A and B are shown apart, each in its own frame.
Chain A
Amino acid sequence: MDSFQEVLFKLKNYWSQRGAIVQEAYDLEVGAGTMAPETFLRVLGPKPYRVAYVQPSRRPADGRYGENPNRLYKHWQLQVILKPSPADVIDQYLASLEAIGIDLGKHDIKFEEDNWESPTLGAWGIGWQVMLDGLEITQFTYFQQCGGIDLDLVPAELTYGLERLTAFLQGKDSVYDIEWAPGVSYGDVRLADEVQFSVYNFEMADLATLWKLFGLHEKECQRLLDAYKDYPDKRRFPVLPAYDQVLKCSHLFNLLDSRGAISVTERVAMIGRVRKLALGAAQCWMDQSGAEALQ
């Protein structure tokens, strides 16, 4: 029986053998692996790319003080991007499950329609949730649009829910009982994290500060995006730092939302504000890549 980290090693290894760059997680708060620049920006444009990374994903509203056996404020996703998607992408995916010890001949696999959409990122795709014996283990998406831009090459995005997958492999009912490493449980490693962030997110975060931070990051992002047009050497322009500001805004929005601090009208407007920044960053990235290609 593999530990949590063993499952992680095996999957990274599997995809590295299939030509993927293995990256580490992005070092800012994100709600999903999709938001990391390795996905959001790299799927744009005509350049093929393959990457795999484990992204801790923070969703303040899903925090349960460590009391719910299946729901986490922060969970680990293995994110794989295959751009363009190979014709045998599903076979490759299924073989990755074999690689972590799932004998598919003895299990039930179904692909159930589940199209993914993120209004905040101006992104959507077509795909499935992959069900293993009734458990959703992976979100499989063919991206169609990102940052409001039609994609030149259609990437396949595979998002493995690592806690669920490992709980399945280890036959555990609670994620906290998963063995992370021999003799160390998931709860040993992460329970304090879940409790404290639930307390902070739901009870102690200062709303006025969060609003202020949102405004500051938004302003900084917009200032950079506005500067792009007249910046002389496009290649040097800090698009990536601008996108970091988008991620900050997105996370702050999630925090405020989890507190119920955003009214209906504000909510729509806030999503629009983050979306505007995300689309702006995507446009700059595209333009910059085009400028680079010409050199």
Chain B
Amino acid sequence: MSLPFLLEIGTEEIPDWMIAPALLHLQSLFQELLDQNRLSASSLKTDGTPRRLILHAEGLPARQADSEELVSGPPKAAAFKDGQPTGAALGFARKMGVEVSALEVQATARGEYVCFRKKTVGRQTRDILAALLPDLILKIYFPKTMYWTGKGGPRFIRPIRWLVALLGDEVVPFEVAGVCSGDRTYGHRLLGGKELQVNSLNYEQILKENFVLVSPAQRRARIEAGIAALGVKVKPDPALLDTLVYITEYPTPILGSFDPEFLKLPEEVLVTVMRHHQKYFSVEDAEGRLAPQFVAVMNTNADPEGLVRRGNERVLRARFNDARFFWNVDQHKKLADRVADLAHVTFQTKLGSYLDKTKRVAKLVRRLGGSSHAVRAAELCKCDLTTEMVKELTELQGVMGGLYARAQGEPEEVWRAIYEHYKPASMEDSIPATPAGRLVALADKLDTLQGCFRVGLVPSGSRDPFALRRAAQGVVKILVEGKLVLPLGRLIGRDAALAEFFLDRLRYYFKDVRGFCYDEVNAVLAAGWDDLTDVESRLAAIRAVRPTENFEPLAASFKRIKNILRQAEIQVGQAVPPAIDAALLEPGPEADLFSAFARLRSRVKRFRKKKEYQAALEAIASLRPRVDLFFDKVLVNAPDSQIRQNRLTLLHNLLKESSAIADFSEIVTSQ
């Protein structure tokens, strides 16, 4: 007989962003529980709202499968003398709780042994679940948990208030944090009933009748349909939509409006207030301009009297009034007059104030060859932290500075650079559009990275409170996509941990974001990564040359050369290899390789200088038949030490010439 299973963990309101990950974890914990207990389900799925985490399973057996285990006893020779059981056999049978006649003999590699086939009858699934679910529930991972029953009590994201656990028609009985499982659920806080009896068939329907849509997909669809029915076009905002799906049990969008007079404020301010502070969608008119309207999503079924709409309109009016007040007040003091105030804004305790940071960033921009406008932007870029607007709407830092700078008559290059200096906000976000913006963004991030690493604030695991990964990723993206030829290695300085950190970001960027093969990335980075635009060119060259017939075999040969040199204890490093003595070369493959290499060398150098890496690589790859022949016919370890040394020198030169582009030995070849 196969049974459905339903688990509902009823809680107080869980933070929206934690629900989907918790459901995933719940499902995998349950799958583990099944696997570890010889149980299986034909299907598993989860649903969830702010007040409930739900797991549905289909096709669970009523009972665990029976099991059989072969328990090994004494050797047959010791267990039976003349066909009669000895003390050893009797003792083993007693231990197993059976007569000697129930024992059997098994042939093993070590000889014949007495053993017992122990059969265990499977336990009831219900009993297994009842025993294991309390632990499973408390094991669900949340980023921050609380206790509520008293010190030392169980921890969960929010208090657990009810539990539904049904296997078929029967309650799976257990207790968590003083709450006993049962078959009663709760509807919507305001519109639904309490202690509603459910079974696994009518569960969703009963909750729906009590204004709870348990499926996030259904709530999403209801929001989308609701917005469509309002007849307006909202600014697409998937993150906001996600939040609203997980902050409601019965979402209903409504349309509100505000005084068009507020449209005189910058759009950035209006949208931020609506989005971040009120969780409203902005509305666009037919031309894509901001309309004096908004869409709020209620957690209830309707607003027939317009009370909720008017309430939200009033709140938004107050917020916009605040914003207008901030905008006007902030104009009384120019950004340039706020620089000194930054002494009172902490950047990081050990790294001083934003005034200190500003000075460092401006200096770095100068060092990077920034224009006077770029330096000006660097000097002003943090000043908006002292404005009322940014104190209130922190999301607008940078953007606000740019808008104020524009209003205060700063040149376009300056205000744009301030506006964009936090970009890119993510790997998907674009880099600043202007050269000055790129330099300021770069210097700001580099300063944060250097400073934090210097005082030991290094990200570990999932902990990265200063978003240093994002900052480093931003540096990489700006350098590569902005085609900035700047010495990253020198900018980082001598901090080995920071260099390693950057190397990880570079691998991630070129491999996962740009799609280069991991061995190509390793090969190119091993040949240096001071100039990221150069790294990109070298990668593109390798990608282009890799499919050609000579490349991989040659890479394999280079690996061989590297090994030979290592065995000969020759360091292939920065040093220039010694010159080859042509007189010592043996005619035939060795002399041929040398002359081909000598002809090639200046050409490769020329290509490299012009960054025509593909041509350089193709030229190097053309050596392949000669390299093969050399290894085939010539003994590197010649008995004469002078000749041997000269051959090693030849190989050393060859390797050196190519490894300025990439370390070929990192290329994974089939040979």
Q: A132-159, CB under 8 A of B: which get 1 and which 0? A: 1111000000101000001111100000
Q: Are B299 and A69 in contact (CB under 8 A)?
A: no
- Is residue B346 within 8 Å, beta carbon to beta carbon, of the partner chain? yes
Complex Cα–Cα for A126 and B149 (A): 14
Report Cα–Cα, A171/B315, bound state, in Å. 11
* Cβ B12 vs Cβ A133 within 8 A: no
Query: Taking A134-B311, A168-B311 as contacts, is the C-beta distance between A144 and B147 under 8 angstroms?
Result: yes
- Find B146's partner among A108, A134, A144 (CB 8 Å cutoff): A144
CB of B248 within 8 Å of the partner chain = yes
Find A111's partner among B12, B151, B303, B307 (CB 8 Å cutoff).
B12
Q: What is the minimal beta-carbon distance from A267 to any residue of chain B, in angstroms?
A: 7
CA distance A265 to B350 in the complex (A): 9
A133 to B315, CA, bound (A): 8
Determine whether A236 belongs to the interface, using a CB cutoff of 8 Å to chain B.
no
Instruction: Please tell me if the beta carbons of B146 and A109 are within 8 angstroms of each other in the complex.
Output: no
| Given A68-B325, A115-B144, A126-B144: A90 and B308 interface contact (C-beta under 8 Å) | no
**A70: nearest chain-B partner, CB-CB:** B318
Q: Which single residue of chain B is at the shortest CB-CB distance from A154?
A: B148
B312 CB–A CB distance under 8 Å: yes
User: Cα distance A115–B296 when bound, in Å?
Assistant: 24
Query: Is A181 interfacial (CB 8 A cutoff)?
Result: no
The listed residue with most B CB atoms (<10 A of its CB), out of A107, A111, A135, A267, is A111
A113 within 8 A of B: yes
Which segment, of B102-110, B199-207, B337-345, faces chain A? B337-345
- Chain B CB count within 10 A is highest, among A94, A108, A113, A267, for A108
Within 8 A of A (CB), among B1-54: 12-13, 15-16, 50
Contacts of B12 in A (CB 8 A): 90, 111
Interface residues of B, count at CB 8 A? 51
Closest to B353 in A: A264
Given A150-B151, A264-B353, are A106 and B307 neighbors across the interface (CB < 8 Å)? yes
Which residue in chain A gives the minimum CB-CB distance to B311? A133
Which of A70, A110, A168, A265 gathers the greatest number of chain B CB atoms within 10 Å?
A: A110
B300 within 8 A of A: yes
A142 touches B189 (CB 8 A): no
Determine whether the beta carbon of A260 is less than 8 Å from that of B298.
Answer: no
Smallest CB separation, B11 vs chain A (Å): 11
A to B contact number (C-beta, < 8 Å): 116
Minimal Cβ-Cβ distance residue in B for A136: B315
Q: For this complex, into which size category does the number of interface residues on chain A fall? A: 35 or more
* Chain A positions 59 through 73: 1 when the CB is less than 8 Å from some CB of chain B, otherwise 0: 000000001111100
Q: Which residues of B contact A293 (CB under 8 A)?
A: none
- Across the interface, which residues of B come within 8 angstroms of A173, CB to CB? 314, 317-318, 321
- For residue A262, CB closer than 8 A to chain B, the reply is yes
Given contacts A105-B190, A134-B316, contact A154 B147 (CB under 8 A): yes
Interface residues of A in 231-271 (CB under 8 A from B): 260, 262-265, 267-268
Q: Within the assembled complex, what's the spacing in Å between the Cα atoms of A128 and B16?
A: 12
B569, CB-defined interface residue at 8 Å: no
Given contacts A94-B189, A108-B299, A142-B148, contact A264 B311 (CB under 8 A): no
B344-A264 in contact (CB<8A): yes
Given contacts A133-B312, A262-B344, A268-B349, whether A108 and B318 have CB atoms under 8 Å apart is: no
Query: Given the known A-B contacts A108-B300, A144-B146, are A151 and B318 also in contact in the complex, defined by CB atoms under 8 Å?
Result: no
Cα–Cα distance between A87 and B11 once the two chains are bound (Å): 11
Q: Is B322 an interface residue (CB 8 A)?
A: yes
Q: Does B598 sit at the interface, judged by CB under 8 A? A: no
Collect the chain B residues with CB atoms within 8 Å of residue A113's CB. 13, 15-16
Residue A187 at the chain B interface, CB threshold 8 Å: no
| Binary B-proximity of A79-105 (CB < 8 A = 1, otherwise 0) | 000001101001000100000000011
CA–CA, A104 and B308, complex, Å: 11
Question: Taking the nearest CB of chain B, how far is it from the CB of A135, in angstroms?
Answer: 5
Q: Is A220 an interface residue (CB 8 A)?
A: no
Nearest-Cβ distance from residue A255 to partner chain B, whole angstroms? 15
Does A112 have its Cβ within 8 Å of any Cβ on chain B? yes
B161 within 8 A of A: yes
Asked whether A68 and B151 contact (CB < 8 A) given A109-B299, A264-B343, the answer is no
Partner among B158, B321, B344 whose Cβ is within 8 Å of the Cβ of A69: B321
Q: Please tell me if the beta carbons of B308 and A133 are within 8 angstroms of each other in the complex.
A: yes
CB distance from A64 to the nearest CB of B (A): 8
A111 touches B13 (CB 8 A): yes
The interface residues of chain A lying within 8 Å CB-to-CB of B310 are 133
| CB closest residue in chain B, given A130 | B13
B632 within 8 A of A: no
Give bound CA distance, A173 to B189, whole Å: 29
Interface contact A105-B148, CB-CB below 8 Å:
no
Residues in A neighbouring B191, C-beta threshold 8 A:
105
**What distance in Å separates the Cβ of B62 from its nearest Cβ neighbour in chain A?**
34
Q: Is B523 an interface residue (CB 8 A)?
A: no
Please measure, in the bound complex, the distance between the C-alpha atom of A288 and the C-alpha atom of B46, giving whole angstroms: 51
Set of chain B residues within 8 Å of A125, measured between Cβ atoms: 146
Q: Is the CB of A263 within 8 A of B315?
A: no
The digit string for B149-184, where 1 denotes a CB below 8 A from any CB of A, is 111000000110100000000000000000000000
CA of A263 to CA of B352, assembled, Å: 10
A47 to B256 alpha-carbon distance, docked (Å): 49
Given contacts A110-B248, A126-B146, A264-B345, are A87 and B161 in contact (CB under 8 A)?
A: yes
The answer, yes or no, to whether B305 is at the interface (CB within 8 Å) is yes
List 15 A–B pairs whose Cβ atoms lie within 8 Å, in order of A's numbering: A107-B307, A108-B298, A108-B299, A109-B190, A133-B310, A133-B312, A135-B311, A135-B315, A151-B151, A154-B146, A154-B147, A260-B344, A263-B344, A264-B347, A265-B352
Since A133-B308, A142-B148, A173-B318 are in contact, a sample of 11 more A-B pairs with Cβ atoms closer than 8 Å, ordered by chain A residue number, is: A84-B150, A90-B12, A104-B190, A108-B299, A110-B299, A112-B247, A133-B310, A134-B296, A151-B151, A263-B353, A268-B346
Query: What 4 A-B pairs have minimum CB-CB distances, sorted nearest first?
Result: A133-B311, A113-B15, A111-B13, A108-B298
